[in-house]
Amino acid sequence: MARPLRVYETPAQLDITKPQDLAGFVRARRTQSGLRIDDAAELCGVSVETLSKIETAKAGVNAESLFKVLNGLGIHLRVKKW
């Protein structure tokens, strides 16, 4: 029997100032969508290791992989005009 998926809450802070902030949104979106990490990685076209690094804010992820995950999960980034 498969282990139940733990669903993470959407972070309250909307300003992304460090990798951990973005990691929380990625994990929340994936789990709220009912996706296991291996299924989400396949959907996004990245390895499980890469998705895990993104969700835990570990170093070693390139921008292309990050955007594959964001786009695959329907997460959109916006930059405020300064």
Q: What is the DSSP string of 5-49?
A: PPPPPPPS-----SHHHHHHHHHHHHHHTT--HHHHHHHHTS-HH
What would the CATH number be for the domain defined by 19-72?
Answer: 1.10.260.40
For position 1, what pLDDT does the model report? 62
| In the chain, where the domains are located | 19-72
Q: Is the pTM of this model over 0.75?
A: yes
- Count other Cβ atoms within 10 Å, centred on residue 34: 10
For position 15, what pLDDT does the model report? 84
Segments in the chain below pLDDT 50: none
CA 79 – CA 82 distance, rounded (Å)? 9
